[in-house]
């Protein structure tokens, strides 16, 4: 069984992806390379390797070329699945640039600078720092339910605050952990906004579809213990791991500020900016379209003559520069996920759980959570992981006599594991897009690894506890 696990194409692909990313290879290049490795491993059967062992290198080469071609076709066939997401991100970036030109974010940054500019004792500075982190946490949490805009607020709010962070000598890794916490934890436990989709539409429906009766009222209580694991990770990150001051190069931050056009704060422009934000939120909530919401919001700026029609080209180009990178990564991630599914490695990985000491509940629960972590780390979406694992996990939980509450906690935690700490997850890419506006925040070492350590490990422990005691 150990060899089956180590040779599983999904496990190998995720390991290759993480290794290449840690070596600072571009994430898109790492995704394509990892998909090729996984596709080759999943497509080359025993007969092909027998040819290699017998010295038939020509036949093996032909087989390998054929499998490689099939892998790349699988990769390319699903790129259009990420294209819609990519254009959404580009329009979101365009909207963010338009907002910055209205002076809304500049006004916020100036007010914060005024507060810092007052005589600040060490105690006041401490309180201001953690009050700011608290506000960012509440903003991120609200983006999942109260105002369901997901990562849309990050490119709008964070870049103008970078000089404030520098003045406070605030470690941006703490900010990355705060933002990621707010993007993940609410949908795990609160049945509103994105949480309603994850808990009710995806988690509970898939559990029911696989033969276990569960009630909507059970979802939040079942996921409370796993959510507390996320809270523990947040507290460790903010008050222990990244509490020390960290200096950044102020010149780079100033260059970023200077590179943007100087904004004159006018009450009318600020009012138009607020109206545009409300327009975008209204359209996203009632029409469920970030693309249309961003477009109409930009048109509000044009109609109010805050942005001239001929300047929309420049605004769009800057928007592509700000958020286009995330869009390209998500397109490549869609291709990678499709290759992983086509290899059959996901199904094999889930099936392996059946053979893991089914008479020992603790070992089995841990194995289910660990495999969920591996799958989500590669796919980058907890929403996509649950349907893949529920087909095996739910019948297995029923056979072991695991209660419906514990089953919800196990499947829900297994899906959420890996959303933090995956280099291709929106919950990690989003914070990087805002914090790296001046080129001083590394995606892997400042966002991916910190969020992996502070959230996946506590969530793994909390999910296991929930699976054992509920």
Helices (H), 380-456: 382-399, 404-416, 426-435, 449-451
pLDDT score for 383:
72
Per-residue pLDDT of 397-419, as tens digits, reads 887 888 889 999 999 998 888 88
- By three-state DSSP, how is residue 57 classified? helix
Distance of CA 96 to the CA centre of its chain: 19
DSSP 280-334: HHHHHHHH--HHHHHHHHHHHHHHTTSS-GGGHHHHHHHHHHHHHHHHHHHHHHH
- Burial class of residue 45, CB neighbours in 10 A (0-12, 13-18, 19+): exposed
- pTM for this predicted structure: 0.78
What token pair was written down for 237? 């990150």
Contacts of residue 434, Cβ cutoff 8 Å, sequence gap at least 6: 154, 155, 157, 158, 159, 179
- What is the 8-class DSSP label of residue 146? T
Using alpha carbons, select from 94, 135, 146, 28 the residue that is nearest to residue 290: 94
Distance of CA 175 to the CA centre of its chain: 15
CB 451 within 8 A of CB 180: yes
SS (H, E, C) 102-139: HCHHHHHHHHHHHHHHCCCCHHHHHHHHHHHHHHHHHH
pLDDT score for 179:
94
CB 10 within 8 A of CB 374: yes
pLDDT score for 353:
66
Residues in the chain: 470
What token pair was written down for 289? 């379209």
| Domain boundaries of the chain, sorted by first residue | 1-76
**What's the Cα-to-Cα distance from 381 to each of 98, 124, 333, rounded to whole Å?**
29, 40, 10
- By three-state DSSP, how is residue 334 classified? helix
Residues in the chain with pLDDT values less than 70:
1-6, 43-65, 78, 80-83, 85, 105-106, 109-121, 146-149, 193, 251-265, 285, 288, 290, 322-326, 330, 346-347, 349-359, 380
Using alpha carbons, select from 66, 424, 375, 387 the residue that is nearest to residue 209: 387
pLDDT score for 46:
46
Radius of gyration of the chain (CA): 24
- What is the 8-class DSSP label of residue 262? P
pLDDT score for 459:
93
Per-residue pLDDT of 287-296, as tens digits, reads 767 678 778 8
Distance of CA 403 to the CA centre of its chain: 30
pLDDT score for 51:
47
How many angstroms separate the first and last alpha carbons of the chain?
A: 29
CB 372 within 8 A of CB 418: yes
CB 438 within 8 A of CB 253: yes
């Amino acid at each position: 069984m150990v060899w089956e696990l180590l040779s599983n194409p999904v496990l190998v692909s995720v390991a290759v992806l993480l290794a290449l990313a840690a070596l600072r290879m571009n994430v898109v290049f790492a995704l394509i390379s990892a998909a090729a490795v996984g596709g080759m491993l999943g497509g080359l059967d025993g007969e092909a390797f027998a040819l290699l062992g017998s010295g038939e290198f020509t036949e093996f080469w032909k087989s390998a070329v054929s499998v490689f071609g099939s892998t790349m076709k699988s990769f390319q066939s699903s790129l259009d699945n990420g294209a819609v997401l990519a254009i959404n991100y580009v329009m979101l970036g365009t909207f963010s640039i338009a907002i910055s030109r209205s002076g809304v974010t500049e006004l916020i940054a100036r007010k914060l600078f005024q507060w810092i500019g007052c005589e600040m004792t060490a105690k006041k500075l401490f309180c201001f720092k953690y009050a700011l982190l608290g506000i960012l946490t509440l903003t991120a949490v609200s983006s999942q339910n109260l105002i369901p805009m997901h990562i849309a607020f990050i490119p709008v709010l964070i870049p103008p605050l970078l000089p404030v962070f520098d003045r406070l000598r605030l470690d941006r890794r703490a900010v990355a952990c705060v933002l990621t916490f707010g993007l993940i934890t609410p949908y795990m436990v609160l049945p509103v906004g994105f949480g309603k989709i994850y808990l009710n539409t995806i988690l509970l429906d898939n559990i029911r579809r696989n033969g276990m009766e569960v009630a909507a009222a059970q979802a939040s209580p079942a996921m409370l213990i796993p959510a507390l694991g996320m809270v523990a990770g947040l507290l460790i990150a903010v008050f222990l791991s990244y509490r020390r001051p960290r200096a950044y190069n102020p010149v780079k931050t100033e260059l970023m500020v200077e590179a943007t056009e100087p904004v004159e704060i006018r009450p009318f422009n600020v009012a138009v900016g607020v109206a545009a934000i409300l327009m975008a939120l209204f359209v996203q909530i009632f029409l469920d379209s970030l693309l249309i919401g961003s477009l109409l919001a930009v048109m509000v700026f044009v109609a109010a003559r805050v942005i001239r029609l001929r300047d929309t080209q420049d605004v769009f180009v800057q928007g592509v520069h700000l958020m286009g990178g995330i869009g390209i990564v998500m397109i490549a991630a869609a291709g990678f996920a499709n290759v992983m599914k086509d290899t059959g490695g996901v199904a094999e990985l889930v099936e392996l759980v059946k053979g893991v000491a089914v008479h020992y509940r603790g070992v089995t629960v841990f194995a289910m959570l660990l495999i969920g972590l591996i799958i989500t780390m590669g796919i980058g979406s907890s929403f996509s992981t649950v349907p893949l694992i529920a087909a095996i996990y739910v019948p297995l939980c029923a056979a072991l006599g695991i209660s419906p509450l514990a089953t919800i906690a196990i499947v829900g935690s297994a899906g959420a594991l890996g959303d933090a700490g995956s280099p291709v997850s929106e919950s990690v890419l989003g914070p990087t897009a805002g914090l790296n506006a001046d080129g001083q925040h590394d995606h892997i070492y400042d966002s991916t690894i910190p969020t992996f350590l502070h959230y996946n490990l506590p969530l793994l422990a909390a999910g296991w506890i929930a699976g054992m005691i509920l």
